[in-house]
Every structure is written in structure tokens, then in C-alpha cells.
Amino acid sequence: MEPLFGVVLGLILAVASAAHDSCTCATNKWAMCAQDGPGNCTCRLAGSDRPVDCSTLTSKCFLMKAEMTPLKEKRLWRPPHGMSDSDGIYNPDCEDSGAFKARQCNQSSTCWCVNTAGVRRTEKGGRSLSCRELVRTRWIYLELTHKRSSDAFDAPDVAKALRQLLESRYKLHPKYIAAIKYDPPLIQIRLDQSKKPRWDVDIADVAYYFEKDVNNDSVFHSNSKLTVSVNGDALAIEKLWIYYVDEKPPEFCMRQLAAGISAVVTVVVLTAGVGIAVLLLLRWLRTRTYNKFECKEMREIKAPSLE
């Protein structure tokens, strides 16, 4: 009887262990998951009590907050890249929907306005800074280079492989992939999303997940290294640049432009002023020389003859 009891107990423990292992979030390795019932696995975001939908990508705002929140696990925690106050990783304020709040502030009471991708779009100011709206990032340009190989890939094959990657790994609807251009070794991808239904992933989230994958810091629970295959040959990505284009121009660019125009106007005015001053000086010198010469001639004419 005892051997039979041991076998049954072993089976129960094996099933429980398998259930525990399966209780993970495939799309977010920072999610804390727990089995709260038979066949029911609940995952919540690290550092908060928000539930995580593991069937799709987690919003970039929630991901950044999770990155800046120490995990209560048996390992040392270090914020990625050690950034605390920069235009990259910071501890953001998020809406319940996962969207960034229009105004972000750090612990030193420095605030700035961001777009829907969480990228700063104004100069930094104090707590009195007002951000009237969260401006949408409509376009995202991804520029990447790959390691050179003896034979360049065909452009259609590269575009097809990257489209499949964006659709399958990042769950991006194909209608948001506006263009893919390949000029070896440079690859350019344009994502276009003027409006986003609630059920579609945001292109900003896709860009963030992709950036993490390229930097070998995948957000996916499997933490598998990103591999892109073009007709069976590996496309080894080396560098990645991301550019965000909002529906409205960033405000600090206009200030810089105004400052630049003012500087140019000042230089032109000063140059013109110096030029006019030089011309007046030359005219005065020429007039003075002419007057001296004329007076000399008049004196010679009026001088009495000795004969």
C-alpha cells in the first residue's frame, strides 16, 4: 500500500510542478505569475498590482516602470544601464490603460512633456510646466544594419522576412507596416499608425520590444535571442536607430529654430553695420584727402610771382 501511495504522491507533485512551470507570461519576463485556481494563471506587473495580458505586448510605459522597480527575487537588481534621469530609461507615470501621462517628472521636480512613445518633446521645466495633451507618435522609423556577407540578400526576401517577424513575434497588424527598404547593409522600416484601436498593439511598444531584442535583453519570458532568417541564411543585425515622428512638431525644436534665426539675424545686422561703418570711414578719408589736395592747389595759384 505504501509504494502505491508514494507513486500517487509523486504524480501529484509532478502535475503541480508542471502547472507551476506553465504559469508564466510569454510576452513579459518581468510579470509575476501565480496559480490561483485549477487551470487559472494570473500574472501581474512587477512593482504594481496591475494584471498583465500575456496574449499581447505589454505597453512601453508599464515595461519602463517594471524595469525601474526592484524585483523581490533571489538575485541582485540593477536598473538597466544605470540611468536615473535621462531621456532613455526613467520611472514613468502611466495611465490605467498603460498609456504615458502627458507630463513626466523626476524626483528632483524636473518635468517635461512626452509623446505616446514616452519620448520627450519639450524642454525640461519645473512642476509648473503644463502639458495640454498627449501627442500621438504617428510614424516610427527603424534603421538597422546587418553584418556584411559575401552575397547580399535580395530586397524582396529581406522585406518578407521582416514583415513575418513583426507580425508573428510582435503581433503587429500588417496594415501598420508602411514600407521596408533594403540598401545593403542598411535596412529601413517605416511604421505608420495614425489611430490605434484598443485591440491592436501600439507601434511604440513594438519598437521597444524590438530594441530590447536587438540589444540581447529580450522582454519575452523565453529570453531567446532574436534570430532573423532570410531564405535559410541568418540576418545578423548589428546596429539599430529609432526615430519618432509625432502628429505635431516637438516644441523644443521650434525654440531652437527661433534661437538659431535670432543668431543669424544678429550676425547679419552686425556684419551690415560694420560694412556701413567701413564705407563711411573710407568715404571720410577720401573726402579729407581731396580737400587737402584742393586747398594746396588754391594756395599755389594765389602765391605772388617773384618775377
| pLDDT(86) > 50 | no
Q: So what's the pLDDT on residue 288?
A: 65
The pLDDT assigned to 135 comes to 94
**Confidence bin at 284 (pLDDT 50/70/90):** confident
For residue 295, the model assigns a pLDDT of: 54
The better pLDDT of the pair 306, 238 is held by: 238
Task: Give the pLDDT confidence score for residue 255 in this predicted structure.
Answer: 47
High-pLDDT (> 90) share of the chain, %? 40
Of residues 288 and 127, more confidently modeled: 127
> For the segment 215-257, what is each residue's pLDDT rounded down to a tens digit?
998 999 886 778 888 988 889 898 999 999 999 988 865 444 4
Q: Could you tell me the three cell numbers for 283?
A: 568715404
DSSP class per residue in 176-237? GEEEEEEETTEEEEEEE-SS--TTSPPHHHHHHHHHHHHTT---STT-PPP--EETTEE--E
Residue 258 is placed in which grid cell? 527661433
Of 26, 246, 256, the closest CA to residue 121 belongs to: 246
15-24, 30-39, 64-73: segment of lowest average pLDDT = 15-24
Residue 176 φ/ψ region, left for φ over 0, alpha for ψ in the -120 to 50 degree band, beta for the rest: alpha
**Encoded amino acid at 8, one letter:** V
Rg over alpha carbons for the chain, rounded to the nearest Å, is 34
Which of 4-8, 28-32, 56-60, 168-172 has the weakest average pLDDT? Answer: 4-8
pLDDT tens per residue, range 101-116: 999 998 888 999 999 9
DSSP state of 41: E
Higher-confidence residue of 228 and 14: namely: 228
Q: Which of 82-96, 175-189, 202-216, 217-231 has the lowest mean pLDDT?
A: 82-96
- CA gap 54, 30 in Å, rounded: 11
**Closest-CA residue to 172 (of 135, 140, 134, 214):** 140
Query: With 60 as the cut, is the pLDDT of residue 30 above it?
Result: yes
Q: What is the pLDDT of residue 40?
A: 84
Nearest to 228 by CA among 137, 166, 302, 295: 166
Amino acid letter, 247: E
What is the predicted pLDDT for the residue at 82? 29
Q: What is the mean pLDDT of the chain?
A: 78
Judged against a pLDDT cut of 70, whether residue 76 lies above it is answered with: no
User: What pTM value is reported for the model?
Assistant: 0.70
Backbone angles phi, psi at 145, to 5 degrees: -120, 150
